[in-house]
């Protein structure tokens, strides 16, 4: 399968379904009998206007950065624009203005990051819906820059459309520098075997190995049949020489996913060894992308992924998932094998270049045989099938081919749980005693730090599922978006947690009903329009200041974090955080006293 090589970063979009319902923030549809709105209605309207204005300011900053080609900054500003709604504690679905603006904002930011000629970002329409003052020329510039089929000037004054896989399209896709790795398929399409690699008859070692292939096929020891052809041995020659590193890396990384792949292929009725196709597709890298729009372990293009149940939305791209994409791959291969009457060589060929190309090659060859249809197939596909067959042979007998020293990596193990709609990965990481980065590693299909706006199955570190599920059972769904966790120590009081989180004792006890004193993980509500999520975690080390150290007390300014204060005071952020029982990223309220250690 083919894919465009894109450097996209998962867009940090948040849910369209916020269930929090706070009476003092809701907008009533009732009308006053007088011409003057009641103070409660006026206050609520002011709160709505404040949210819209704050979100609009961040969005405008984002498009200015986007037009200026400061894409990482643009992504951060767009995220903040969306998060204003999330942390407002308002029930967005109860107010038409908030709901319309929020939903259109989600769509517009998505269209800016993932451009399509047929669906360009409608910045003017968003501004009108949200009543934002955005220069029409600036709005039009965003739509122009987001157009994927950008025009490139040629040397003779003509213009040509840039393809999706061109360098221009690659450099303009996404807001950040997310690390994607090139798919091996790109190099495979250009690979030309050398004369030495093609030599089989006059090479005693190659001839002996070629005999082994014939025996393996005759004995059906690989679980499926294929036609023996010298080109299979030629690719084995390649891997034993200049392609050795590629094979070694693939055999090592296969340990992470092959057990899972074999299980799913077996469940779907596909020969388990066909799962080695994943090594040729991606070298077992979930972040692999090709120059033709393919992504993930199994290199699905968007259309084929959708055919076999893989969602691709503003929240997830399941082509990058572990198990969903593996099952989709097995089902697609089974579909293709059935189409070609059990011929796995033709099935693999169609997996690479599509059924249409293979069907045409068969019609021209006059027979449904890969090697007869070989001259009529794309060059990449001619390499693809013997490459997979060579990989299968090497993987099943690494000692025979000089790869017996490779020890596969341990299997990637994790638990799976279903979490509520729009769950923050920050909250989930706190519950599972891990980091957001590791959760993103376990869930490469998530496009943001928030799960989709419906209950969704996610991967969490092995052994943590029961603990996480128990925590979420204690937390009402309406408070998922506005709650963090803090780890309490034995004998700690609510007042001490209040001191280090900046949340009142009354709010803490209300968020943890039935808990007379803190124990284990406790819920910490997030206040109002606190756009930058505060992550609270009690440090493992003691916050007692070592003897001999001097301490200065400074007061935080509005918007300060521990790290900002530390930099301003020329101190180490980690030390400052440790001495104050906080994290470097903790957001501080204005006037809060922070201890600055010094020698």
Q: Give the residue numbers marked as catalytic.
A: 281
Is the separation of the CB atoms in 198 and 171 below 8 Å?
no
The number of beta carbons lying within 10 Å of the beta carbon of residue 150 is 16
Q: How far apart are CA 359 and CA 369, in angstroms?
A: 11
Q: Which two tokens stand for residue 393?
A: 């042979």
- Provide CB contacts within 8 A for 363, sequence distance 6+: none
483-487 and 593-598 as β-strands: parallel, antiparallel, unpaired?
unpaired
Q: C-alpha angle with apex 32: 30 to 33, nearest 5 degrees?
A: 130
Q: How far apart are CA 433 and CA 430, in angstroms?
A: 5
DSSP string across 435-475: -HHHHHHH-TTB-SSB--SS-EEEEEETT-HHHHHHHHHHS
- Residue keyed to tokens 């104050």: 580
Map residue 11 onto helix, strand or coil. Answer: coil
Q: How far apart are CA 518 and CA 524, in angstroms?
A: 11
- Provide CB contacts within 8 A for 531, sequence distance 6+: 54, 80, 83, 84, 87
Is the separation of the CB atoms in 480 and 452 below 8 Å?
no
288-289 and 181-182 as β-strands: parallel, antiparallel, unpaired?
parallel
- Provide CB contacts within 8 A for 256, sequence distance 6+: 284, 408, 409, 410, 411, 412
Q: What interhelical angle do 244-267 and 323-339 show, nearest 10?
A: 80
The number of beta carbons lying within 10 Å of the beta carbon of residue 8 is 18
Contacts 24+ apart (CB under 8 A), 349-355: 349/373, 349/377, 349/381, 349/384, 349/385, 351/1, 351/277, 352/1, 352/2, 352/185, 352/380, 352/381, 352/384, 352/385, 353/2, 353/377, 353/378, 353/380, 353/381, 353/384, 354/1
Query: How many CA atoms within 13 Å lie on the side-chain side of 442?
Result: 23
Q: Which residues of 475-513 are buried (b: 16+ CB within 10 A; e: fewer)?
A: beeeebbbbbbbbbeeebebebbbebbbbeeebbbebbe
Q: How far apart are CA 164 and CA 176, in angstroms?
A: 18
Q: C-alpha angle with apex 360: 233 to 280, nearest 5 degrees?
A: 35
Burial level of 401, CB count in 10 A (0-12/13-18/19+)? buried
């Amino acid at each position: 399968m083919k894919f465009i090589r894109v450097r996209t970063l998962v867009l940090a979009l948040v849910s369209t379904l916020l269930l929090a319902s706070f009476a003092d923030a809701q907008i009533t549809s009732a009308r006053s009998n007088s011409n003057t709105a009641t103070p409660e209605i006026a206050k609520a309207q002011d709160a709505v206007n404040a949210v819209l204005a704050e979100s609009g300011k961040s969005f405008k900053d984002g498009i200015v950065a986007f037009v200026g080609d400061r894409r990482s900054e643009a992504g951060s500003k767009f995220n903040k624009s969306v998060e204003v709604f999330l942390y407002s504690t308002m029930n967005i679905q109860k107010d038409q203005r908030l709901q319309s603006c929020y939903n259109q904002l989600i769509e517009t930011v998505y269209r800016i990051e993932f451009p399509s000629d047929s669906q360009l970002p409608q910045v003017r329409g968003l501004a009108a819906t949200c009543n934002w003052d955005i220069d029409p020329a600036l709005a039009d510039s965003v739509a122009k820059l987001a157009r994927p089929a950008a025009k490139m000037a040629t040397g003779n004054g003509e213009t040509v459309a840039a393809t999706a896989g061109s360098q221009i399209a690659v450099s303009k896709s996404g807001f950040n520098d997310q690390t994607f790795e090139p798919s091996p398929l790109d190099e495979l399409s250009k690979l030309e075997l050398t004369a030495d690699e093609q030599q089989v008859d006059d090479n005693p070692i190659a001839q002996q190995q070629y005999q082994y292939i014939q025996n393996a096929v005759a004995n059906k020891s690989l679980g499926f049949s294929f036609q023996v052809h010298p080109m299979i041995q030629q690719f084995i020659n390649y891997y034993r020489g200049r392609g050795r590193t590629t094979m070694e890396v693939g055999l090592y990384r296969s340990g992470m996913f092959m057990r899972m792949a074999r299980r799913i292929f077996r469940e779907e009725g596909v020969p388990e060894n066909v799962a080695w196709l994943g090594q040729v597709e991606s070298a077992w890298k979930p972040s692999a992308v090709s120059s033709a729009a393919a992504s993930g372990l199994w290199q699905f293009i968007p259309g084929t992924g959708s055919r076999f149940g893989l969602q691709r939305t503003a929240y997830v791209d399941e082509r990058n998932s572990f198990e969903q994409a593996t099952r989709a791959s097995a089902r697609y291969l089974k579909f293709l094998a059935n189409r070609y009457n059990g011929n796995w060589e033709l099935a693999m060929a169609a997996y690479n270049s599509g059924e249409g190309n293979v069907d045409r090659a068969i019609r021209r060859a006059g027979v449904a045989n890969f090697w007869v249809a070989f001259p009529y197939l794309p060059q990449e596909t001619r390499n693809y099938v013997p490459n997979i067959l060579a990989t299968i042979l090497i993987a099943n007998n690494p000692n025979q081919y000089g790869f017996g020293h490779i020890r596969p990596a341990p299997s990637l193990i994790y638990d799976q749980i279903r979490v509520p709609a729009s769950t923050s990965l920050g909250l989930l990481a706190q519950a599972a005693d891990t980091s957001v980065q590791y959760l993103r590693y376990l869930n490469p299909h998530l496009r943001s730090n928030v799960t989709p706006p419906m209950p969704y199955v996610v991967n969490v570190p092995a052994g943590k599922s029961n603990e996480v599920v128990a925590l979420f059972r204690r937390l009402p769904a309406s408070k998922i978006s506005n709650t963090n966790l803090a780890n309490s120590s034995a004998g700690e009081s609510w007042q001490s947690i209040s001191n280090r989180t900046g949340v009142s004792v009354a709010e803490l006890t209300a968020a943890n009903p039935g808990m007379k004193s803190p124990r284990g993980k406790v819920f910490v509500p997030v206040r109002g329009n606190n756009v930058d999520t505060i992550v609270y975690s009690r440090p493992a080390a003691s916050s007692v200041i070592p003897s001999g150290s001097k301490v200065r007390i400074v007061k935080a300014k509005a918007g300060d974090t521990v790290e900002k204060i530390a930099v301003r005071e020329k101190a180490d952020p980690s030390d400052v955080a440790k001495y104050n029982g906080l994290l470097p990223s903790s957001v501080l309220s204005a006037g809060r006293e922070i201890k600055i250690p010094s020698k």
